[in-house]
Homo-oligomer: A and B are copies of this chain.
Amino acid sequence: MGERRSDTKEKILEAALRLFSRKGFRETTIKDIAKEVGITEGAIYRHFNSKDEIIHELLISITTELKEAIAKSIEKGESEEEIFKNIIEALIGYAFNKPESYRFLNLYHLLKEYPQVTHLPGELILKFLNNLYTKKKLKTYPEVALAVITGSVERIFIFKERNFLRHNTQLIKRELISTLKGALIG
């Protein structure tokens, strides 16, 4: 039949992301993905050479997307304080708007080795924090600040997914931003 262009490839990536992020890499089978897309297993292999290739392609595109979101949030900020706020907003925004992508990333980095090839989104943030640190505007070491920021966002995300947050999302976002601001740049 053949959908126009490579609609199918896109559908495979979407289905795979959905399943990987929900169930993990090993526990998601090619058959699962095929069924989700509505094709047969063999058809997957016209678009990808292996399961690993699907995972890798997702990793690259998600990493790129998140990195770009962060880059943009840094560029747009006018003061350091604003940039700080923008970064956290970008992180939370990404996690909340693209939960599957965000989960995928966490899962990947927990299970697989850190891939050398991929420049991680964290690097951009770290650069900014290093800069603040040099100017004595950061209350702690850059690595510690990075850990606090990214770790907090991740947990907030998990809590949200588990319906553990007793306040509405907007409120939580604002709280987190002001808490981290207070903690790190005063």
Q: Which residues of A contact B (CB under 8 A)?
A: 23-27, 106-107, 109-111, 114, 139-141, 143-148, 150-156, 158-159, 162, 164-167, 172, 175-176, 178-180, 182-184
Contact = CB atoms under 8 A, between A and B. Distances in A.
Nearest to A112: B24
Q: How many copies of this chain are found per oligomer?
A: 4
Shortest 4 CB-CB distances between A and B: which pairs?
Answer: A183-B183, A151-B151, A151-B155, A26-B26
A139 B24 contact: no
Q: Which of A145, A166, A179 has the most CB of B within 10 A?
A: A179
Contacts of A172: 141, 143-144
Given A179-B183, A180-B183, A166 B143 contact: yes
Instruction: Output the residue of A107, A153, A159 with the most chain B CB within 10 A.
Output: A159
B110 A106 contact: yes
